[in-house]
Amino acid sequence: MNYKETIRLPRTGFSMKGNLVRKEPEILEKWEKEDLYGKIREARGGAPRFILHDGPPYANGHVHIGTALNKILKDFIVKSHTMMGFDSPFVPGWDCHGMPIEHRVMSDQKETGKRLGRKEIRARCREYAARFVNVQRKEFRRLGVFGEWDRPYLTMNNDYESGIVDAFGKLVAGGYVYQGLRPIHWCMKCGTALAEAEVEYADHTSPSIYVAFRQHEPGDWKDRGIPEGVEVVIWTTTPWTLPANVAVALHPQEKYVLVASGDRTFMVAEKRVSAFMEETGLEGDVQGSPIFSGADLEGLFLEHPLLRDKTSMMIVAEHVTMDDGTGCVHTAPGHGAEDFVVGGVYGLPVFSPVDEEGRFTAEAGDYAGLHVFEANKAIVADLKKSGGLLNSSGIVHSYPHCWRCKSPLIFRATRQFFLGLSRKNLKARVLNMVDDIKWHPGWGYERMKNMMAVRPDWCLSRQRAWGVALPVFTCGECGEPVMDVRVISSVVELVRENGSDAWFEKTPEELFALTGRKPECPSCGSGNLDRVDDILDVWFDSSLSHYNVLRDEYGLERPASVYLEATDQHRGWFGVSLITSEALDLGKPVEHVITHGLVQDMNGRKMSKSLGNVISPLEIIDRQGADILRLWFAGVDYTADFRADLSQLDDAREAYRKLRNTLRFMLGNITYLEDFNFDPASLKGFDRYAYLRFRKLMSFCLEEYRAFQFHRVYREIRNFAVIDLSGQFLDIRKDRLYCGDADSPEVLSTRNLMTWMLKNFIMLLAPLIPFTAEEAWAELPEVIKEGCESVHLALYPRIKDFTEAESAELRSWEPYMEVRRIVMKELEAKRASGEIGGGLDASVALEVPEDMVPSANGEDWADFLIVSGVETVAGEDLSVTVVKARGSKCERCWKILPEVGRLEPADVCSRCAGVLRKMSEGGDE
RNA sequence: GGGCCUGUAGCUCAGUUGGUCAGAGCGCACGCCUGAUAAGCGUGAGGUCACUAGUUCAACUCUAGUCAGGCCCA
């Protein structure tokens, strides 16, 4: 007879196939329709706060794998902490200003051939940024990330811009802001500064000259053992920068030698001697001694080759190479980026006597009025006359050009506004703040300390259009900067009402009129002020998110609990945020800073379109679903760089399938649950083991969620599903759940235990795979959901630590599990020899220690081993004998037992006969 | 060149303060089951812990260096 109808097979609407691509959008829609996020906020109102403050991604392009990883990790934290009982709001943000967007807009404009004004450019940039905020918002939501998507913070919003101006005013008032010179790429034809992204490199023919510098104060040189009359030789391709020369840089460790040629003696790097003599055509002898290192010469002075009243200092710098030139590098801080940096170290003046059109100013003496490239000839001629010129030729090399007009660029020092890190001991204060923040992983501390310590003053001004206007003036008479705190305060209001555009629409008179005054230069008293039309560095924008966003208006407060960004943000957002927070005297902006690695391809290379190795998260979502992507990310240790390969996605999918099937099986079995009444104390046998194991899993996972170690959560959950549930508990308990007496305490307590585990298991999964967890939650009977309509509203239970007795109890299972392993091997051996098929074909004879004879730690031995029968005897050594089970197969539970055939009905075992009898009496099922 | 980081089975990860720590899951191979079935169960084969040299009675675990790779600077 077929007894299938008399057993409780799993039944559930939770399908085996995920169908995530179809289901996830439906769940998303439901969440939004029912305002789940709002309900979570409401439910956690008044709970302890846990604020993850979002570092703003750039509003350009689609979400790529790196931004997806970042937001998903953030979501893991927010969701897990929400379920741990914290009020954990998430306000996403976007960085909207800056070069990349302006560059895109300008490129589009270049194609149309139209030249746009600033107002138009800004409007188009705003439109562009807004478009991609919308694109990315939709994509982030689709990833299952919860947050205030309808009320994000945008750095281009009036409030935010206004806050930037406000903060800038406070920094001015605090004395942190100063004007100084700094060399930048400059297009003489367009008369504008260029950002790095606007520079194109192309071949260009430049002069190539070798110039000898004479000793200044030869006595000082002699004191260091250098003969009088030795000349130091430099090589340059920009003769016109020689008037701005203030130093000659040597490499500190490289060797420098003397070369006697005719009646002169030159000094060059040992490694460059032959190239130097070959190119200049000079003949001479390299002297074996003396030999100097660059460091030996530091601090000596040379005569300036062109300007009689100036000198040039001997300095050392690591950027000096032995690849070209003489190893002695002409240094003009006004005309080179590296020169500027090393000049800063020595406190050298930034001299740059060149105007916007590339003509020398009066400061250049005889060269005044000459265009710099024309001046090359005059300078070469003068050097020749003075004897300083050793050789002059030409060189074709890669040279920076303007992306717009294609003409060659120069480096030119311009007046810029800086945040002085040495003002009021700011850097030291920030370094102290670093001590006060917790860094995850711990080495983030060292990295931040080291980076902050060598950080130069922060150049805040940019000669661009798309950003927040720098609210300052310069005096038209004396040229001094005018940073008027009262005007800035008024501009704060102006910008709050009208955005930063308003600055550009008003004259200095109008701007001063906001304070009821007339323009006046505090230095010279002139009323003739020029509005500075620079914008602020975009890093300044994002650095102020703590100031603009961690406040009531967003339902947040400072300090935030956590910042979480990729490791490149140590110098970036983390660093600049600390600086402004300290400079504004606000204390630390955050308690914990977490960093994750960058996503690379399988070979550790950066993903880029040109390499064709890009993995798109959107494609994965479209084909597999967001939960698969999330599970993939959950499995990796994000503290290291993440080498992403599509093959790993197969593993994530496999893990998902296993988790899903395990959920499905349990859901299918609790269909028969009537009352949820879970009492751990009433559990018996193997149920106790499963219970203790699950408790251990829970406390482990909650601890790891607290420590932001998601890959450990993932590993434990996955192993638990594979080993403890699928391989052990569910396999062992299948017989009881299917065939046992429905009213028996064994069935009821096992079913309650399983229900309890299932509910908590879904909750553990919820932060990682929020869609699937929600889908499973919906299948749970109302009685056990305790009124939570969504799993994301549920709270993790408090899990008690193990008592000594419980630890001992769990340990007491080890020998039994060992017996089980050995029996499995024996069963396998019998299977291989064809004696048995399934485990129920077998009966096992065990020789075990005396205390193991009565039962498997309170569990029925046969059930524990999933065989038809077990006989135990006490023995010294463990021994396992597997034989074919004797008796007949019970047609209901499929065990082979001797009593089958002797009862009524004749084809079932005694347990099943009893159950059948009861069923027919009770009439149920 | 500097600061910081990474390198354990094909893949993703465990391996507290040096001594049964060379492990897990997946994948793979082989087999079983057919009442979780485009499921489920079992068994098995895979690593000289990037490399080299030290310290030590003992090193994946400590020290130094090398190689490969990453981020940020220069």
Is the C-beta of residue A827 closer than 7 Å to nucleic acid chain B?
A: yes
Rounded to whole angstroms, the Cα distance separating A373 from A518 reads 43
- At A494, list the tokens: 């102006």
Crossing angle of helices A910-922 and A730-739, in 10° steps, is: 50
**Of the candidates A471, A466, A461, the residue with the CA atom closest to the CA atom of residue A492:** A471
**Which pLDDT score is estimated for A925?**
45
Q: Cβ(A884)–Cβ(A835) under 8 Å? A: yes
Q: Cβ(A232)–Cβ(A305) under 8 Å? A: no
From the CA of A436, how many Å to the C1' of B61?
A: 31
Count of CB atoms within 10 A of residue A349's CB?
11
Rounded to whole angstroms, the Cα distance separating A691 from A686 reads 9
From the CA of A837, how many Å to the C1' of B33?
A: 8
**Which pLDDT score is estimated for A273?**
80
From the CA of A715, how many Å to the C1' of B13?
A: 7
Rounded to whole angstroms, the Cα distance separating A109 from A544 reads 31
3-state SS, residue A863: helix
Tell me the one-letter amino acid at A314.
Answer: M
3-state SS, residue A720: helix
**Which pLDDT score is estimated for A133?**
98
**Which pLDDT score is estimated for A905?**
92
Rounded to whole angstroms, the Cα distance separating A908 from A15 reads 33
Note the pTM of the prediction, 2 decimals: 0.91
3-state SS, residue A192: strand
Residues pairing with A631 in the sheet: none
Rounded to whole angstroms, the Cα distance separating A626 from A142 reads 7
Count of CB atoms within 10 A of residue A586's CB?
16
Q: Cβ(A736)–Cβ(A863) under 8 Å? A: yes
Give strand letter and number of the nucleotide nearest A663 (CA to C1').
B36
**Which pLDDT score is estimated for A397?**
80
Q: Which mean pLDDT values do the consecutive 10-residue runs of chain A (925 residues) have?
A: 92 96 98 98 97 97 95 98 98 95 86 83 97 98 98 98 98 96 83 73 83 84 82 88 87 81 83 80 77 80 82 84 83 87 83 85 82 85 81 81 81 90 95 96 93 90 93 94 96 97 96 95 94 94 98 96 96 96 98 95 76 89 97 96 92 97 98 93 96 97 96 97 98 97 95 98 98 98 93 96 93 95 96 95 96 96 98 93 96 96 93 94 63
Percentage above 70 pLDDT, chain A: 99
**Of the candidates A325, A482, A465, A504, the residue with the CA atom closest to the CA atom of residue A415:** A482
**Of the candidates A319, A124, A98, the residue with the CA atom closest to the CA atom of residue A197:** A98
**Of the candidates A547, A587, A648, A213, the residue with the CA atom closest to the CA atom of residue A430:** A587
Tokens 């005013």: give the residue: A169
**Which pLDDT score is estimated for A923?**
58
Give strand letter and number of the nucleotide nearest A661 (CA to C1').
B36
Give strand letter and number of the nucleotide nearest A730 (CA to C1').
B36
From the CA of A701, how many Å to the C1' of B8?
A: 24
Tokens 């955005």: give the residue: A499
Burial group, residue A755, by CB count within 10 angstroms (0-12, 13-18, 19+): buried
Give strand letter and number of the nucleotide nearest A839 (CA to C1').
B32
From the CA of A693, how many Å to the C1' of B17?
A: 28
Q: Cβ(A127)–Cβ(A18) under 8 Å? A: no
Residues pairing with A315 in the sheet: A249
In the 588-617 stretch of chain A, whose C-beta falls under 7 Å of nucleic acid strand B? 597-598, 600, 604-606
Q: Determine which helix (DSSP H) or strand (DSSP E) holds A57, and give its type and residue range.
A: none
In the 324-353 stretch of chain A, whose C-beta falls under 7 Å of nucleic acid strand B? 338, 341-342
- At A775, list the tokens: 């889908």
Q: What secondary structure does DSSP assign to A446-473, as a single string?
A: HHHHHHHHTPPPEE-EES-SSS-B---E
The pairing of strands A461-462 and A247-250 is unpaired
Half-sphere exposure of A503 (CA within 13 A, CB side): 33
**Of the candidates A505, A549, A514, the residue with the CA atom closest to the CA atom of residue A159:** A549
Percentage above 90 pLDDT, chain A: 68
From the CA of A71, how many Å to the C1' of B56?
A: 47
3-state SS, residue A351: coil
Is the C-beta of residue A223 closer than 7 Å to nucleic acid chain B?
A: no
Burial group, residue A252, by CB count within 10 angstroms (0-12, 13-18, 19+): middle
Q: Determine which helix (DSSP H) or strand (DSSP E) holds A848, and give its type and residue range.
A: strand A842-848
**Which pLDDT score is estimated for A497?**
97
Tell me the one-letter amino acid at A629.
Answer: L
For A364-417, the pLDDT digits (tens) are: 788 888 888 888 888 888 888 888 878 888 887 878 888 777 888 888 888 899
Q: Cβ(A230)–Cβ(A265) under 8 Å? A: yes
Give strand letter and number of the nucleotide nearest A318 (CA to C1').
B1
What is the maximum alpha-carbon separation in chain A? 126
Report which residue is nearest nucleotide B6 when distances run from CA to C1': A640
Is the C-beta of residue A640 closer than 7 Å to nucleic acid chain B?
A: yes
Rounded to whole angstroms, the Cα distance separating A405 from A708 reads 51
Is the C-beta of residue A14 closer than 7 Å to nucleic acid chain B?
A: no
Q: Which residues contact A574 (CB under 8 A, 6 or more apart)?
A: A448, A563, A565, A593
Q: Cβ(A54)–Cβ(A506) under 8 Å? A: no
For A786-837, the pLDDT digits (tens) are: 899 999 999 999 999 999 999 999 999 999 999 999 999 999 999 999 999 9
- The answer for A597, left when phi > 0, alpha when psi is -120 to 50, beta otherwise, is beta
Rounded to whole angstroms, the Cα distance separating A680 from A684 reads 9
Tokens 């975009």: give the residue: A538
Report which residue is nearest nucleotide B69 when distances run from CA to C1': A604
Nucleotides in chain B with any atom closer than 7 Å to protein CB: 1, 3-7, 10-14, 24-27, 31-44, 69-74
Cα separations (Å) of A510 from A173, A505, A517?
22, 9, 9
Count of CB atoms within 10 A of residue A488's CB?
22
Give strand letter and number of the nucleotide nearest A451 (CA to C1').
B3
Rounded to whole angstroms, the Cα distance separating A754 from A725 reads 10
List the Cα angle A395/A400/A402 in 5-degree steps. 135
**Which pLDDT score is estimated for A790?**
98
Count of CB atoms within 10 A of residue A643's CB?
15
Q: Which residues contact A315 (CB under 8 A, 6 or more apart)?
A: A247, A248, A249, A250, A298, A331, A342, A345, A346, A348
Instruction: Looking at A505-593, list the stretches that DSSP marks H as alpha helix, in order from N- to C-terminal side.
Output: 508-513, 538-543, 545-549, 575-583
3-state SS, residue A14: coil
**Which pLDDT score is estimated for A197?**
67
Q: Cβ(A458)–Cβ(A577) under 8 Å? A: no
CA dihedral (A847, A851, A855, A857) positive or negative: negative
**Of the candidates A335, A329, A334, the residue with the CA atom closest to the CA atom of residue A316:** A329
Tell me the one-letter amino acid at A795.
Answer: L
From the CA of A232, how many Å to the C1' of B55?
A: 50
Give strand letter and number of the nucleotide nearest A447 (CA to C1').
B4
For A8-55, the pLDDT digits (tens) are: 999 999 999 999 999 999 999 999 999 999 999 999 999 999 999 999
Rounded to whole angstroms, the Cα distance separating A919 from A925 reads 7
Q: Which residues contact A267 (CB under 8 A, 6 or more apart)?
A: A226, A230, A231, A232, A233, A256, A257, A258, A259, A292, A328
**Of the candidates A182, A156, A161, the residue with the CA atom closest to the CA atom of residue A102:** A156
Half-sphere exposure of A299 (CA within 13 A, CB side): 5
Is the C-beta of residue A837 closer than 7 Å to nucleic acid chain B?
A: yes
Is the C-beta of residue A571 closer than 7 Å to nucleic acid chain B?
A: yes
For A361-409, where are the E strands, in sequence order? Answer: 389-402
**Of the candidates A203, A187, A206, A185, the residue with the CA atom closest to the CA atom of residue A195:** A185
